[in-house]
Amino acid sequence: MKFTIKKEDVLTVLSKVQGLTGRKSNLAITENVLLTTVENGITLIATDLETGMEGSYPANIESTGAIAVNARKLYEIIRDFPEDDICINEVENRWIEIGDDNVQYHLVGMNPEDFPENPHVETVEFFDVDAAFLKKMIEKSVMISAAVEEKRAHINGALLERVSSDEVDGIRMVSTDGSRLSKIDYALGEDQEAVNFEKVLVPKKGLAEVAKFLSGEGVVRIGIQNNYFIVRRNTETIIIRLLEGQFPQYGDIIRKKDASVIALDRMRFLMMLKRMSILASEHYRGTVFAFGDNRLTVRATNPELGESKEYLSIAYEGAAIKPSFNPRFFIEVLNVIEDDQILLYIDDEEKPCVVEGQNDKRYVCVIMPMRI
């Protein structure tokens, strides 16, 4: 196998697949990418056995073949290569030459026949989603991440479901870690009929890899086939094995009926919470939010460091309540809400707080109170 490829045609994808190839699996070969020559170019495949990526890229082919090569070293070589045209040549015993007349590298390759095969998804029924909004859906969902040792499917995965209601006619992504929950909707319109599933659990790790391939322009195609979630854009396809399990019923949690509604300036509230988080630590994360007499008082206490307190004028005339929350959860939500004004729906010390933008109702986050 021998081909010449332009640096700009392959550098970006090699950067994006490092999350897959750098993840530990039971097979050492998953630290590699599989390069295979095709007509007018090459295919590049990466996998961590749960999520697989395949893409086609233009190249000048001199001889055909396939080889598995270490993804990290190939990326670093191409990233720092001084020329635009890079020749990759397989020689005897699966050694690979990379370079030109002035710069040369020799890497040990692996047997391409040992590389895990991605599922075949040629007959998938796809529907189109705006790429920029899908990226937002994913980022707002995987933000609520699971602990490393977490085994529960509904914590490790995000629920993707078809929704047809007065609020939205399209798809919804819901994510939770047990302490908070996010819901974000996307209206499909005429493409609603193309959705051929009711609900699936997609691993958050796989969705995070998808987000790396999404930009702010155009559309992507989404499909579900057998036990796989497939995202396709141009010449690149990502395939994620779905999780088995049930996502808990969340309807009652996101209801806002009977709760007091408090409007806040998003940036002012965000900076207030950042200041109150300065004294937080791993053992002292709870912060008291006192609502009463048209004022919000946020107080953080850390016996190891000290305490802080700040006041904020609000429109609230209800009964005084003092729930405790992890301020980091609010900070992360406020960082992804795009409205200048936000709404808090608060009931009492025992019930969760619902947060949403004043205008954009497609994204809602629920934060559970803490016991201090």
Q: Provide DSSP, 101-117.
A: SS-EEEEE-B-GGGSPP
Mean pLDDT by 10 residues, the chain (372 residues): 95 96 89 95 96 96 95 97 94 92 93 91 87 95 86 94 86 95 90 82 96 88 93 94 94 86 96 90 83 94 89 92 93 96 94 95 94 76
CB atoms within 10 A of CB 245: 12
Phi/psi at 321 (nearest 5 deg)? -135, 150
Residue 364's closest CA among 147, 176, 209? Answer: 176
Phi/psi at 266 (nearest 5 deg)? -60, -50
Which tokens is 272 given? 């207030």
Q: Please report, for residues 82, 196, 226, 267, 311, the alpha-carbon distance to residue 200 in angstroms, rounded to integers and kept in the order given.
A: 46, 11, 11, 35, 44
Domains and CATH numbers, the chain: 2-114 (3.10.150.10), 127-241 (3.10.150.10), 260-367 (3.10.150.10)
Cβ–Cβ under 8 Å, residues 365 and 180: yes
End-to-end, the C-alpha distance of the chain in Å comes to 64
Cβ–Cβ under 8 Å, residues 238 and 223: no
Residue 150 is predicted with a pLDDT of 83
Which tokens is 139 given? 């980022």
Residue 75's closest CA among 25, 17, 23? Answer: 17
Which tokens is 13 given? 């994808």
CB atoms within 10 A of CB 26: 6
Please report where in the chains the tokens 């995965």 appear, as a residue: 157
CB atoms within 10 A of CB 14: 20
Residue 21's closest CA among 68, 65, 56, 55? Answer: 68
Residue 283 is predicted with a pLDDT of 78
User: What sign does the CA torsion over 184, 185, 191, 192 have?
Assistant: positive
Residue 191 is predicted with a pLDDT of 65
Q: pTM of the prediction?
A: 0.91
Q: Is 175 helix (H, G, I), strand (E, B) or coil?
A: strand
Q: Is 335 helix (H, G, I), strand (E, B) or coil?
A: helix
Residue 295's closest CA among 327, 272, 279? Answer: 272
The helix or strand, by DSSP H or E, that contains position 155, with its residue range, turns out to be helix 153-156
Residue 192 is predicted with a pLDDT of 67
∠ at Cα 294 (292, 300), nearest 5°?
55
Residue 171's closest CA among 135, 197, 207? Answer: 197
Sheet holding 104-108, edge to edge: 60-63, 2-6, 85-90, 95-99, 104-108
Which tokens is 244 given? 């088995």
Length of the chain: 372
Cβ–Cβ under 8 Å, residues 32 and 108: no
